Amino acid sequence: MTRILATADGEFRIALRNRWVAIALVLMAVFSLVLSLAGSAPSGGLGADRLSVTVASLTSLAVYLVPLLALLMSFDAVAGEVERGTLPLLLTYPVSRAEVLLGKCLAHVAILALAVASGYGLAAAVTFAFDDRSVAGLPALWRLGWSSVALGATFLGAGYAVSALARRPSGAAGMAVGLWLGLVVLYDLALLAAVVADNGGWFTTEAFPVALLANPADAFRLFNLAASGASGVSAGVGGAASVIPVWQSVLPVLLWPVAAMSLAVLAFRRVSP
């Protein structure tokens, strides 16, 4: 545990110096603030409290931004050590590869949690200023907060795995961008296309919900929309939230971080210094 904490401490300092902490905090704060100010206009007639509506908007934001931030912080984790030539020395220390990755992950998760807390906190503060019924939306905000961190942890793990597989920072960066595009953008488009082509057949009723839950980003979206009951205010793929029970969507949200970190450790073990 001391070794994990020591690694995390070092990583946090590095992230602080490299401005990653500042970048993550500012990005989340700015986007959350914009959403909470601008996203309120269409909610008037829906009857939901303003915070619940903001949470629905923040969910759509987080699904893009949190994975991106996580991948940006993690793609260099192993490949960077290989390129700088710091890996061989590190691996002669009495510390396991899993401990190294967990230490890095702990620091990066802490940064994401800080960014999420400050961004959502700001959004909530703004919302409360306009609507005092917003208390009703607090559970949804809390859920969004922790599941955003879990989503971030999943993509951190994915980023470490990519970093270990690529072994060069440039290659890892390319793979990370590809992963983000694939899982966060193209996956949904492909599903949408399949649903349209299927026209209400087997794919739409049986495969589609499973396919949504299999993708950590979609599972995150479904979990938040289904749990908050705010699916009425979001359109598109989010509409599926009404057919999938909450317990089914919370499982992938919790399991994906573990699976991604395990994958990362396996990939890291194969790196020969």
Q: Which stretch binds another protein (CB under 8 A): 12-20, 140-148, 188-196, 206-214?
A: 12-20
DSSP string over 212-241: HHHSHHHHHHHHHHHHHT-GGG--GGGGGG
Which member of 45, 92, 202, 245 binds another protein (CB under 8 A)? 92
Q: Does 1 bind another protein (CB under 8 A)?
A: no
CB of 176 vs another protein, minimal distance in Å: 20
What is the crossing angle of helices 187-198 and 216-228, to 10°? 70
DSSP string over 82-146: HHHT-HHHHHTSS--HHHHHHHHHHHHHHHHHHHHHHHHHHHHHHHHHH-GGGGGGHHHHHHHHH
CB of 273 vs another protein, minimal distance in Å: 5
Q: Does 91 bind another protein (CB under 8 A)?
A: yes
Q: Does 201 bind another protein (CB under 8 A)?
A: no
Number of chain residues interacting with another protein (CB under 8 A) = 24
Q: Does 270 bind another protein (CB under 8 A)?
A: no
| Nearest in space to 12 (alpha carbons), one of 108, 89, 144 | 108
In one letter, which amino acid is 265? V
Q: Does 93 bind another protein (CB under 8 A)?
A: yes
Return the number of the residue (92 or 199) whose C-beta is nearest another protein: 92
Q: How many CB atoms neighbour CB 171 within 10 A?
A: 15
Q: Does 271 bind another protein (CB under 8 A)?
A: no
Return the number of the residue (103 or 145) whose C-beta is nearest another protein: 103
Burial class of 162 by CB neighbour count within 10 A (0 to 12, 13 to 18, 19+): buried
Which member of 30, 38, 42, 88 binds another protein (CB under 8 A)? 88
Which member of 44, 45, 47, 85 binds another protein (CB under 8 A)? 85
Q: Does 168 bind another protein (CB under 8 A)?
A: no
Q: Which stretch binds another protein (CB under 8 A): 88-96, 158-166, 205-213, 221-229?
A: 88-96
Q: How many CB atoms neighbour CB 13 within 10 A?
A: 12
CB 244 within 8 A of CB 222: yes
Q: Lay out the site mask for another protein across 31-70 (x = CB under 8 A, - = otherwise).
A: ----------------------------------------
In eight-state DSSP terms, residue 47 is: -
Binding site for another protein (CB under 8 A): 2-3, 5-7, 9-10, 13-14, 17-18, 84-86, 88-89, 91-96, 272-273
